[in-house]
Structure 1
């Protein structure tokens, strides 16, 4: 049986249908793989845009965008981006757990907030179990800024005003929430620097929050770390 067919007049040789189908399947697989890589590259870039920039990540991103296409280089860069995202998520989980512990300590009547900042840079009134409300805590670390507030139910903070203070100082609010426990209201705001190279001034944020408390004719206790 012949593996090729000859045309009647010109003598041209035609490939069998099976070979044509095999060639088409290979091209289709290449297209699928190319689209998969492009999709993965887009997901990694989107993920890296959600993680606060650091000098190392900026270097990798510039190298990633300027280098010629290379599957090995792309894979290495994507692994770096995934490692950075995983480390950032782990850091956020640690902060969430820390805030939960502070909230639980405050609800039980202990000075949970003050005990966790003994090694930090502290400015403001001394913190004790009898500290008058409201309490303002500002924690700044690695381009992120967390704000924890405690107020009386009768003299609450306006959350949109708190967010406005952060945005005025160049912070981008990632999440904000509050809960009412007994006669107290607990607020938690997590933000990051809108422009990482410029950074954030925790002192200016604390000053703005003091202004909000002063508007309510209250003398707050401020914890700045």
Structure 2
């Protein structure tokens, strides 16, 4: 076989040139997908093409950090979605509470004239279901929900529901709601 050393050298150069062009195109595509944030030093300089001043390795590191941040945000969103959908959150999830989303339930019913206040304390596992059932019980007993709010602390959800009871039989309705909710929570 007759191989010319100059042709193999030219082939290697062409292959390397094509590889570099392909990598350059991939870097360009990657940097176009990642949001650009200029370093503070370059933000004050007008008309500075700051991406040209940042090394490729720094651009790759920035893209890697951005992707990792997106993954963390995605996991947080999935956890929040599970909570809002009423699906259980496992105790080994990335929650920072000591009860790990355990089943914590308490209900307190207070009557003030024709106003009824229900304070419901639940864990993350059953927050949506317990809230919906409490609203259902209040409506079934003939009370009108005026407002409802909640707050979240660690893995505990505090619901406060304000409702209005009709004029006749206020005490009876309040007692009945209280009994049904206590049976439901236990």
TM range (shorter): 0.3 to 0.5
TM-score, normalised on structure 1? 0.33
Larger Rg: 2
TM-score, normalised on structure 2? 0.40
